[in-house]
Amino acid sequence: MGLPSRKSGTPSAILTVRNVPDEVHRALRVRAAMHGRSTKAEVRDILESAVRPEQRVRMGDALAGVGRRLGLTNDDFAVFDEVRDKSPAEPMRFK
């Protein structure tokens, strides 16, 4: 997983991490070499993987999973159709 290519002239953030233990820095250099990239590129990839996991949780899937675990059926949701206000929404008015 790599970072998307950036257009020329697009600003990017700069992050400085101080007081990294020597053994952590060595491990990063080894890991970077194993992946055939610089230590900076390796750190960028690690950070991106940490904040943008490949398997995102989608809200609809999560809610459907909760419903399945609770044993809910479509009939359980019919009550919402019965009590829902079905009149058309009024547009907002600004004075």
Q: Summarize pLDDT for 30-74 with one digit per residue, the tens.
A: 999 999 999 999 999 999 888 886 677 788 888 889 989 999 888
CB count in 10 Å sphere of residue 46: 13
Angle, nearest 10°, between helix axes 22-34 and 39-51? 90
Read off the pTM.
0.48
**Positive or negative: CA dihedral 39, 40, 45, 47:** positive
Cα 79 to Cα 40: distance, rounded to the nearest angstrom: 56
